[in-house]
């Protein structure tokens, strides 16, 4: 499997339910095409560097996943068709990768980050 990272920007005027629906839709597409979601990181509403479709803000989502090239084609096709998505960018990070290994690395880094946060709070 290949390792991909995709950032997409959603219409910022959508309600929380609709935002969740969009994020779930694209995660489900990856899962249906035998891909593996490593992490979905919602960055939230941010100012855009330039206007896109008359919006100066957008809701950013980072989708880290493993899959086959066909899954990426289908995902990009759906991103183009969905009017709620303003823009997207997909990057291939690695050619042959074990998804389980990546998931364990992400979990380890999350645990380390939480431990650092606790230490920083105690020192404050």
What does the pLDDT look like over 18-56, one tens digit per residue?
A: 999 999 999 999 999 988 898 899 999 999 999 999 999
CA 13 to chain CA mean position, Å: 19
CATH of the domain at 11: 3.30.70.60
Q: pTM here?
A: 0.80
- Token readout for 5 is 């990272």
Per-residue pLDDT tens over the stretch 49-101: 999 999 999 999 999 999 888 889 999 999 999 999 999 999 998 887 777 77
Beta-carbon contacts of 118 under 8 Å, excluding residues fewer than 6 positions away, are none
Max intra-chain CA distance, the chain: 50
Task: Please tell me the distance from the alpha carbon of residue 109 to that of residue 71, in angstroms, as a whole number.
Answer: 27
Q: Is residue 49 part of a domain?
A: yes
The model's confidence at residue 117, banded by pLDDT at 50, 70 and 90, is low
Residue 70 lies in a domain: yes
For residue 9, being part of any structural domain is answered with: yes
Range of the domain at 19: 2-97
When divided into structural domains, the chain yields a total of 1
> Is residue 27 one of the residues assigned to a domain?
yes
- Higher-confidence residue of 102 and 33: namely 33
Specify if 120 maps to a domain. no
> Which residue in the block uniquely carries the two structure tokens 């650092």?
116
Residue 89: which of 23, 9, 7, 26 has the closest Cα?
Answer: 7
Asked whether residue 77 is assigned to any structural domain, the reply reads yes
Report if residue 124 sits inside a domain: no
Judge whether 23 lies within some domain: yes
Please, are residues 28 and 74 in contact by the beta-carbon 8 Å criterion?
no
- H-run or E-run covering 66: strand 55-67
């Amino acid at each position: 499997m290949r390792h991909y990272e995709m950032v997409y920007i959603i219409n910022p005027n959508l309600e929380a339910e609709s935002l969740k629906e969009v994020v779930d839709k694209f995660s489900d597409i990856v899962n249906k095409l035998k891909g593996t979601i490593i992490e979905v990181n919602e960055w939230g509403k941010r100012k855009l560097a330039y206007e896109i479709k008359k919006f100066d803000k957008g809701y950013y989502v980072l989708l880290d996943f493993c899959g086959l090239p066909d899954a990426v084609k289908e995902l990009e096709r759906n991103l183009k068709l969905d009017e709620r998505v303003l823009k997207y960018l997909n990057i291939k990070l690695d050619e042959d990768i074990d998804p389980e290994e990546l998931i364990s690395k992400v979990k380890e880094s999350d645990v380390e980050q939480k431990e650092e946060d606790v230490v920083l709070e105690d020192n404050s």
